[in-house]
Amino acid sequence: MSTTPIETWAVDLKDVTFIYPWVGSEVLMAWVGIILWIAWHVWQLKHENATYAEKLAKYGDSDTIKKAAEEHH
């Protein structure tokens, strides 16, 4: 099975047209990748902040946590 019109590489490369699928969509794929990357960072930041707020609600404020950590060192 071939995804490109090339059956063999024993040809003159100036006659080769497409060597991989979706030629011409590189910019679109780059933008999709960048948007997904930024979206992941936003989600990660929100998730970490929610987890931090949950821990603060459960164990107390940051001063209490700092004092508890210093006592155990």
Whether residue 47 is contained in a domain is answered as yes
The pLDDT of residue 37 is above 80? yes
φ, ψ for residue 65 (rounded to 5)?
Answer: -65, -40
The CA distance from 41 to 25, in Å, is 24
Count Cβ atoms below 10 Å from residue 34 Cβ, excluding itself: 10
**Domain span holding position 40:** 23-71
Whether residue 17 is contained in a domain is answered as no
Confidence of residue 36 (pLDDT cuts 50, 70, 90): very high
Whether residue 14 is contained in a domain is answered as no
CB 5 within 8 A of CB 17: yes
What's residue 1's pLDDT? 57
Higher-scoring residue by pLDDT: 36, 65: 36
Confidence of residue 21 (pLDDT cuts 50, 70, 90): confident
Whether residue 18 is contained in a domain is answered as no
